Structure 1
Amino acid sequence: MFIAMNRFQVKLGSEADFEAVWLGRDTHLSTVPGFVTFKLLRGPEQEGLRLYASHSIWKSRADFEAWTRSEAFRLAHKDAGDNRGLYAGHPQFEGFDVLQEVAADAA
């Protein structure tokens, strides 16, 4: 498995607009080969900014990388530049290969 995360530093007062953009967009992920799940996370306020992260899980790094070259990726990100004013800097990407997974018992 592979976990892809982007961290966003959102200007205070822009949180509602940021959330509306993300919650209202079509991610185009549900039919992408290798996609497992996506979460948008709201974090703490720090140094005058609100931290957010996108968190997606993929069956493999190769599946994630194939998605970044796909039409679905281009469609999901086509308007990203329109919202630059919400952010303090560029998103920070972090990718992780999963070495261990522990899940709750199904019972």
Structure 2
Amino acid sequence: MFVAMNRFKVFKENAAAFEAMWLARNSTLHQMPGFMTFQLLKGPDDAEPQLYSSYTLWARKADFEAWTQSAQFRAAHDRAEKRAPLSVGQPQFEGFDVLQTLSAPLAAREAAE
């Protein structure tokens, strides 16, 4: 498996708009072979600037790389380039090969929801 993350540093005054943009977007990730899950992560509220990270889990690194070459990727990022910037600079990409996975039993995960 492969984890792809982008770290964003967002101006405090833009945090609500940044979150709204992500939560309202029409994602096509589910259309991509090998896509497993996505999460938008928010860092501590006392951070300045506010920290966020997008987290995607892929079956294989090659699946993630195919996404970055896809029409869906270009469309998603074309929309982003047409908006006024909400963050400090460009996001910082980090990619990781998964070496180990541990999961709670299903009953424990369901109880936490």
Fold in common (TM above 0.5)? yes
Residue 95 in 1 paired to residue 95 in 2?
Answer: yes
Instruction: For 1:43, give the aligned amino acid.
Output: G
Contact 1:41 1:52 in 2 (8 A): yes
- In structure 2, the CA distance between the partners of 1:96 and 1:84, relative to structure 1 (3 Å rule), is farther
Contact 1:28 1:75 in 2 (8 A): no
Residue 23 in 1 paired to residue 23 in 2?
Answer: yes
Residue 53 in 1 paired to residue 62 in 2?
Answer: no
Superposed displacement of residue 85, structure 1:
2.6
Superposed displacement of residue 82, structure 1:
3.0
Instruction: For 1:89, give the aligned amino acid.
Output: G
Q: Give the Cα–Cα distance (whole angstroms) in 1 for the partners of residues 4 and 82 of structure 2.
A: 23
CA RMSD of aligned residues (A): 1.3
- Aligned match of 2:110: none
The TM-score with structure 2 as length reference comes to 0.87
* Structure 1 segments (4+ residues) deviating >4 Å: none
Structure 1 or 2: more helix by fraction: 2
5+ residue gaps, structure 2, are 108-113
Contact 1:6 1:91 in 2 (8 A): yes
